[in-house]
Chain A
Amino acid sequence: MMADISAIAELTDPGADKIDVQAVLARLHPDHRVVLVLRYLEDMSEEDTAEFLAVEVGTVKSRTSRARESFARRWSP
């Protein structure tokens, strides 16, 4: 699952004609995409995510909330 940071911009789902989770994820702001991936795919705690991203825990909380909202708005299967 881990890859180089430069590859995140290429996070797409080529060939998917239906709306797809990964395609929606790819359209999120990078800050939002990152926090969703770390929190929900890597199962990192808020504290570990904050340390990983070198930000405050409060920032992780607010980014996570906004990322979930942003994903939900774009998700309309």
Chain B
Amino acid sequence: MNPNQQRWPTAAPLGTLDRLKILASAYRGAAFVETVMDHPFESVWHAIENIETSVPQFDSTVRRLTVTARSDDGTPVRARVAPFNIDMAIDLRRGWCLMSSRRYVVCFAAEPIDATTTRYGHLEGFTRNHKSRIATLAAPLHRLAAQVERIHVLKDVQGVRRLMDARRRP
């Protein structure tokens, strides 16, 4: 085996940010932003895991997010987002929140770097039906949508930072 092969990547479980990066590669109409938060992971996750309160706070385009179904342990599994009237499936785990509908996806993930800093990633945008022939024709539009969406995602990340800074103030 040559030295390059011995450097073969990952067989260990992927972290939440790595999962998000792979997911982001598949959504051509979505934008992905990764940043470092100057806060401990527990603080970051505690601030955003309650999606009913956090999402309308960090995303100015969301007026209200209402959890419409929960699993037996109380974890949200479906939610409705106003004013868009979108019903979204929720996959919420520690450090990972995926909210998806047929047309739109939002996913944010966090993982600790060390005791005081956290890596945070945010993916958001329109999905694309890869089985559709029209999807190929619409590919340039999806790329354009992703560029526009990036501005939105950057604002969301700023929103999360504001949430964290507000919590830091006495």
A residues touching B (Cβ–Cβ < 8 Å)?
A: 1-5, 7-8, 10-11, 13, 18, 20-22, 25, 34, 36-42, 52, 54, 67-69, 71-73, 75, 77
B residues touching A (Cβ–Cβ < 8 Å)?
A: 1, 4-14, 18-28, 89, 91, 98, 100, 128, 130-131
Among B4, B11, B14, the one with the most A-chain Cβ atoms within 10 Å of its Cβ is B11
Contact A77 B9 (CB under 8 A): no
Contact A36 B10 (CB under 8 A): no
Nearest chain B residue, comparing its CB with the CB of A14: B13
B25's partner among A3, A18, A22, A39 (CB-CB below 8 A) is A39
Contact B26 A75 (CB under 8 A): yes
Contact A5 B6 (CB under 8 A): yes
Contacts of B6 in A (CB 8 A): 4-5
The 3 closest A-B pairs by CB, nearest first: A7-B11, A21-B19, A5-B8
A75's partner among B13, B20, B23 (CB-CB below 8 A) is B23
A38's partner among B9, B12, B27 (CB-CB below 8 A) is B9
**Nearest chain A CB to B112's CB is how many angstroms away?**
16
Nearest chain A residue, comparing its CB with the CB of B15: A1
Contacts of A52 in B (CB 8 A): 4
Knowing that A4-B8, A71-B22, A71-B25 touch, tell me 11 more A-B residue pairs with CB under 8 angstroms.
A2-B9, A3-B10, A4-B6, A11-B11, A21-B14, A22-B13, A36-B25, A40-B24, A40-B25, A41-B22, A68-B26
If over half of B's interface residues share one DSSP class (helix, strand or loop), that class is named, otherwise mixed; here it is: mixed
**Nearest chain B CB to A45's CB is how many angstroms away?**
15
Contacts of A72 in B (CB 8 A): 26-27, 128, 130
A2 to B26, CA, bound (A): 23
Contacts of B13 in A (CB 8 A): 13, 22
A38 to B9, CA, bound (A): 7
A1 to B13, CA, bound (A): 9
Contacts of A40 in B (CB 8 A): 21-22, 24-25
A37 to B115, CA, bound (A): 27
Contact A3 B9 (CB under 8 A): yes
Among B6, B10, B21, the one with the most A-chain Cβ atoms within 10 Å of its Cβ is B10
Contacts of B23 in A (CB 8 A): 21, 75
Nearest chain B residue, comparing its CB with the CB of A67: B25
